[in-house]
């Protein structure tokens, strides 16, 4: 079945090439497709293109199809182009010609646009929840180990005193900024393209404000040409937000691999999260974090992939955009896997509390000595020179007491303030609007 069928056969190889992986990718969009159709038919009834009894029958059947999708009982049949065709076919089989009426006033172009936006905003909520869970684990570890000192590095050289409180807490705060980026992606996603049809509107008197409210969007993409121009742009902007989170997680994974190695010995990963060697019986390899690093680095390439697919396309729809689905739709699950694995391990990392007994780290207290002399009245440059000469002459003896009290330092981590920032960002998503709209559309009592 093809929605555009005109009574002639298409070459099978051409069909295979043009359909590509759409049937596979469209499974991701199936629930969203039903949600969009529920809103659309409600609007069609309001403008007289469906009778009330037709709306009731179609609504009931669409809710049934949605339940089948959630229960894993839905598939796009061989010979059916996409999810839109499959849903319409199922309605027509079960309700007759009534099922053919649901496409009035829309095109597959705006249908897939609304599907993508509904899918994306739901996935962004799930990603945001996983980010927040990892944030909680990092903050808990930051507080637990706030008094345990460790070396800080610049140029991979021992530099100054740091702490595990700072290390864990730094990644927690990084996730707050990442979530701000994710919120911007959510806001630009949460606008309704339905009613733009093929990109030039419809002669039917569509009520786009109604579908906007029914689907819980913040507003609509008003200009119908721009609504179509948003295809690809939306995915690219979201991909940048996912890449920002992936960048934070990749860096954390690299640190953990480094600090877990015997030459550092700062942390010990839980043994159940490591793998062995086929030849070296002593090995406990940090494969989970190595794969996390690789997968997150792959995700950081996603915005560029999307840009290269959509770059320099003029306004209007082009089939090029289909290819974006293949790299974009699976990205949410890939990132969420990495977030969950990282959260699990972060909560179980064992920290070495006795790192600084090793004399190789003595010189990281040199700045503390310079600052001590300067606080006693010696000019800073003179204090710097004196400590430097003592180091060169082998006379430097570190004082390992550290007293940092300013905001964000070893002795004043500002974890409550960072949590307050996270809570503020979280509230500003207003996920409840989306949840309430979806519940209303799917509720048999509405």
Q: What would the DSSP string read from start to end of 119-131?
A: HHHHHHHHHHHHH
* Assigned token pair, 380: 């800073």
Mean pLDDT value of segment 240-253 = 98
Residue 178 CB contacts under 8 Å (≥ 6 apart), including other chains: 131, 241, 244, 245, 248
pLDDT of residue 4: 44
Asked if pLDDT for residue 92 goes beyond 60, the answer is yes
Asked if pLDDT for residue 6 goes beyond 80, the answer is no
Q: Return the number of other C-beta atoms located less than 10 Å from residue 331's C-beta.
A: 23
Could you give the 3-state DSSP secondary structure of residue 69? helix
Asked if pLDDT for residue 318 goes beyond 70, the answer is yes
Vertex 258, ends 300 and 141: CA angle to 5°?
Answer: 85
pLDDT of residue 316: 84
Asked if pLDDT for residue 42 goes beyond 80, the answer is yes
Do residues 139 and 419 lie in contact, with contact meaning Cβ atoms separated by under 8 Å? yes
Do residues 252 and 175 lie in contact, with contact meaning Cβ atoms separated by under 8 Å? no
Q: How far apart are CA 87 and CA 34, in angstroms?
A: 8
pLDDT of residue 8: 52
Mean pLDDT value of segment 158-185 = 97
Mean pLDDT value of segment 97-101 = 94
Q: How far apart are CA 132 and CA 66, in angstroms?
A: 29
Mean pLDDT value of segment 342-357 = 95
pLDDT of residue 18: 65
Q: How far apart are CA 138 and CA 145, in angstroms?
A: 11
What size, in residues, is the chain? 446
Decide which of 108 and 6 is more confident. 108
Residue 82 CB contacts under 8 Å (≥ 6 apart), including other chains: 19, 22, 23, 26, 76, 108, 112
125 φ/ψ angles, rounded to the nearest 5 degrees = -65, -45
Q: How far apart are CA 81 and CA 103, in angstroms?
A: 16
CATH 1.10.287.130 for domain 108-146+160-207+215-355+414-439, yes or no, is no
353 φ/ψ angles, rounded to the nearest 5 degrees = -85, 0
Band the pLDDT of 9: cuts 50, 70, 90. Answer: low
- Give the helix/strand (H/E) hosting 160: strand 157-163
Mean pLDDT value of segment 281-295 = 88
Band the pLDDT of 312: cuts 50, 70, 90. Answer: confident
Q: How far apart are CA 437 and CA 213, in angstroms?
A: 8
Q: How far apart are CA 63 and CA 68, in angstroms?
A: 9
Q: Looking at the chain, which residues constitute the CATH 1.10.275.10 domain(s)?
A: 12-103
Nearest to 290 by CA among 327, 252, 328, 263: 252
Nearest to 20 by CA among 353, 385, 320, 431: 320
Q: Looking at the chain, which residues constitute the CATH 1.20.200.10 domain(s)?
A: 108-146+160-207+215-355+414-439
Q: Within 13 Å, how many C-alpha atoms sit on residue 259's CB side? A: 24
Q: How far apart are CA 9 and CA 223, in angstroms?
A: 36
Between the alpha carbon of residue 418 and those of residues 33, 173, 204, 422, 425, the distances in Å are 38, 6, 51, 6, 11
Asked if pLDDT for residue 445 goes beyond 70, the answer is no
- pTM of this structure: 0.92
Mean pLDDT value of segment 397-412 = 92
pLDDT of residue 15: 65
Any bridge partners for residue 350, and if so which? 268
Q: Note the CATH architecture for domain 12-103.
A: Orthogonal Bundle (1.10)
Q: Give the tens place of pLDDT for each residue, 188-228.
A: 999 999 999 999 999 999 999 999 999 999 999 999 999 99
């Amino acid at each position: 079945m093809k929605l555009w069928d005109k009574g002639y056969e298409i070459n099978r190889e051409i069909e295979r090439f043009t359909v590509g992986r759409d049937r596979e990718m469209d499974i991701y969009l199936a629930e969203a497709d039903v949600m969009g159709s529920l809103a659309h038919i409600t609007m069609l009834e309001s403008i007289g293109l469906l009778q009330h009894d037709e709306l009731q029958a179609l609504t009931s059947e669409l809710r049934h199809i949605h339940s089948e999708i959630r229960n894993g009982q839905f598939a796009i049949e061989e010979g059916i182009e996409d999810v839109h065709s499959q849903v319409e076919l199922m309605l027509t089989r079960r309700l007759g010609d009534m099922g053919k009426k649901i496409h009035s006033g829309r095109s597959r172009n705006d249908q897939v646009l609304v599907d993508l936006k509904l899918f994306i905003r739901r996935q962004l909520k799930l990603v945001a929840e996983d980010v927040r869970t990892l944030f909680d684990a990092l903050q808990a570890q930051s507080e637990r180990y706030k008094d345990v000192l460790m070396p800080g590095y610049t140029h991979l050289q021992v530099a100054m005193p740091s702490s595990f409180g700072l290390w864990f807490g730094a990644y927690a705060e990084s996730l707050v900024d990442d979530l701000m980026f994710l919120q911007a992606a959510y806001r630009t996603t949460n606008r309704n393209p339905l009613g733009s049809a093929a990109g030039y509107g419809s002669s039917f008197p569509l009520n786009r404000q109604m579908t906007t409210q029914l689907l819980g969007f913040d507003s609509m993409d008003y200009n119908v040409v721009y609504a179509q121009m948003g295809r690809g742009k939306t995915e690219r902007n979201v991909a940048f937000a996912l890449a920002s989170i992936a960048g934070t997680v990749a860096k954390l994974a690299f640190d953990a691999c480094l600090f877990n190695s015997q030459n550092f010995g700062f942390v010990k990963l839980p043994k159940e999260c490591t793998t062995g060697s086929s030849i070296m019986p002593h090995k406990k390899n940090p494969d989970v974090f190595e794969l996390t690093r690789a997968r997150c680095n792959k995700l950081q390439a996603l915005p560029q992939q999307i840009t290269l697919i959509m770059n320099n396309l003029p306004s209007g729809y082009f089939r090029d955009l289909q290819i974006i689905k293949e790299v974009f739709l699976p990205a949410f699950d890939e990132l969420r896997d990495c977030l969950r694995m990282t959260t699990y391990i972060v909560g179980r990392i064992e920290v070495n509390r006795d790192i600084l007994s090793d004399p190789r780290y003595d010189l990281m207290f040199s700045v503390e000595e310079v600052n001590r002399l300067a606080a006693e009245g010696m000019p800073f440059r003179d204090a710097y020179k004196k400590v430097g000469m003592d180091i060169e002459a082998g006379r430097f003896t570190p004082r390992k007491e550290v007293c940092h009290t300013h905001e964000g330092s070893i002795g004043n981590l500002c974890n409550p303030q960072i949590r307050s920032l996270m809570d503020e960002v979280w509230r500003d998503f207003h996920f409840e609007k989306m949840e309430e709209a979806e519940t209303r559309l799917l509720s048999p009592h509405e």
